[in-house]
Amino acid sequence: MSKPFNKKWKSKWESAQWPAIGAIAVTTLILGYIGFSKHLMLVGEIRTPLDIIYLTLQLFTLESGALSGSIPWELEIARLLAPTIAAFAAFKAITIIFREQLQLIRIKLFRNHVIICGLGRKGMLLTQQFRKMGKKVVVIELDEGNDLIDQCRDHGAVVFTGDATQTELLRIVRAHKAKYLISVVGDDGINAEVAIHAYDLVKDKKNHQLTCIIHIFDPQLSQLLREQEKEVRGLDSFRMQYFNVYEKGALAWVDQYLLFGPEDKSQADQETRLLVVGAGQLGESLIAQAAQKRKKSWGEESRKLYIDIIDQYAEAKKARLYSSYSELEAYWEIIPLEMDVKSLDFQQGKFLFENGGKCRYDKIFICLDNDSLGLSVAMSLYQKLKEQRTAIVVRMVRDAGLAILLRGKDIEGEQISGIFAFGLLDRTCTPELILEGKD
């Protein structure tokens, strides 16, 4: 039997076991009540309904099942099921207690391990990747009911439930002996607090260095904090790094789809026009990274990079970009197109074409935060541009799910060759990218 098949049935059993046990327990109580009622009637003994309920409950502790004489089949089944259910529940309780104790024993042997704080999609991906590399991984997750906890354990990670900002918990997971501590909780403040407590724990340690990597959602804040990394670089025991999935994702996006390298310098005098749909954090980072790469590769020899942005607040986004990246003013020109992607103006798509009917864009990037909406927008533009061969790249959370549709066929049965899915988390939540090749 294959491993995925085993995992599939294991997952189904884990989700269904307690409802199933509950249903069996209720059935046992009903059968026990009916069985005791019949038995007492046969032996001529009169008991109240409460007495019968009490006798039935005692079946679970093996105190009322030893009977003589004729025993109804309902009671026969009940007195077998009840202790079985009780034994199963006791076994599960003991397993949980021993698992926690075994984890504490196991963790005492860990050295140079990886600690991941926060078990969302980013935390889960990193756990899987580090385990594939053969690294020992400890996960700290606040929510005991997180469905990903069992998946983490299946991958061989040790999981502790608790608050990662508590110094005592960081000590239990041996942060002072770990090689990396990565905090990807969905809150910049909590991630920073984790780093502060980790620093307090290891600052006086000798002959060992902990690298603390925290995720910061705001790209500009991430950049500012990165400048402050120098303040702790002198410490032998602690090193701080910051990363941002939008910034990392934009850089990977630009490297893959925009050829502005030195080997392409012959194209520097050609006009390049991009369309960015959605100027949120990823969209802004993409625009800035594109201009920065063009500037770095071709410098003043190149023509400006023209970027049209479609957003409900396109004018404000343009002002923010020009203010935040004033050094790029000579290298780009941003044209704001204020419209909603659900509006009639967008659906008509007149902005896509020049007077001669040719598409005015070299590439189109869709940076919407909703996978379904992003795919819908991509398909809508594709239907208008399928004869133009203009590449449309759409951001997806993962390179799975809806992204798989892009590898299929369109509504006319033709291969969708002009739409490309960019799985943001798959491309950014990797040890190689986060560790920046330092492992």
Q: What is the rounded CA–CA span in Å between residue 418 and residue 382?
A: 7
- Please name the residue that has the structure tokens 């002959």: 207
- The CB density around residue 114, as the number of other CB atoms within 10 Å, is 27
Q: Which CATH superfamily is domain 110-243 in?
A: NAD(P)-binding Rossmann-like Domain (3.40.50.720)
pLDDT in tens, 223-274: 666 666 655 555 678 888 888 888 888 988 888 887 655 545 555 567 789 9
pLDDT in tens, 198-211: 998 988 887 888 99
In DSSP terms, 291 is beta-bridged to none
* Among 361, 390, 391, 392, residue whose Cα is nearest residue 375: 392
Token output for 54:
């009490």
- Please say if the pLDDT value at position 194 is more than 90: yes
What is the distance of C-alpha 280 from the center of its chain? 19
Q: What is the rounded CA–CA span in Å between residue 303 and residue 298?
A: 9
**Cβ-contact 237, 144 below 8 angstroms:** no
- Please say if the pLDDT value at position 411 is more than 80: no
168, HSE (Cβ side, Cα atoms, 13 Å): 3
**Cβ-contact 331, 306 below 8 angstroms:** no
Task: Calculate what percentage of the chain has a pLDDT beyond 90.
Answer: 35
> 113-122, 238-247, 323-332: which has the highest mean pLDDT?
113-122
Can you tell me the mean pLDDT for 95-115? Answer: 80
Backbone angles phi, psi at 168, to 5 degrees: -65, -40
DSSP sequence for 64-129: S----S---HHHHHHHHHHHHHHHHHHHHHHHHHHHHHHHHHHHTT--S-EEEE--SHHHHHHHHH
Token output for 73:
């089949």
Q: What is the rounded CA–CA span in Å between residue 332 and residue 326?
A: 10
Higher pLDDT, 398 or 56: 56
Q: 110-243 and 249-428: same fold? A: yes
Q: What is the rounded CA–CA span in Å between residue 408 and residue 417?
A: 10
The sign of the torsion formed by the CA atoms of 430, 431, 433, 437 equals negative
The CATH class of 249-428 is alpha beta
pLDDT in tens, 51-86: 888 888 888 887 776 777 778 888 889 888 988 888
Token output for 353:
């074409």
pLDDT bracket for residue 409 (50, 70, 90): very low
pLDDT in tens, 143-172: 988 989 988 988 989 999 999 999 999 999
pLDDT in tens, 338-369: 999 999 999 999 999 988 789 999 899 999 99
pLDDT, position 17? 78
Q: Could you tell me how many helices (H) and strands (E) the chain has, helices first?
A: 15, 12
pLDDT in tens, 12-49: 666 677 788 888 889 999 998 998 898 888 888 888 88
pLDDT bracket for residue 181 (50, 70, 90): very high
Backbone angles phi, psi at 421, to 5 degrees: -90, 135
- Please say if the pLDDT value at position 219 is more than 80: no
Q: What is the rounded CA–CA span in Å between residue 183 and residue 187?
A: 10
Q: What is the rounded CA–CA span in Å between residue 32 and residue 29?
A: 5
Domain boundaries, the chain: 13-104, 110-243, 249-428
pLDDT, position 377? 93
Backbone angles phi, psi at 119, to 5 degrees: -110, 65
The sign of the torsion formed by the CA atoms of 241, 244, 245, 250 equals negative
pLDDT, position 415? 41
pLDDT in tens, 260-319: 555 455 555 677 899 999 999 899 999 999 888 888 876 666 678 899 999 999 999 999
pLDDT, position 4? 47
pLDDT, position 8? 55
CA-only gyration radius of the chain, Å: 30
* Among 342, 343, 409, 350, residue whose Cα is nearest residue 376: 342
The sign of the torsion formed by the CA atoms of 19, 24, 25, 31 equals positive
Burial of 262 (0-12, 13-18, 19+ CB in 10 A): exposed
Q: What is the rounded CA–CA span in Å between residue 285 and residue 274?
A: 14
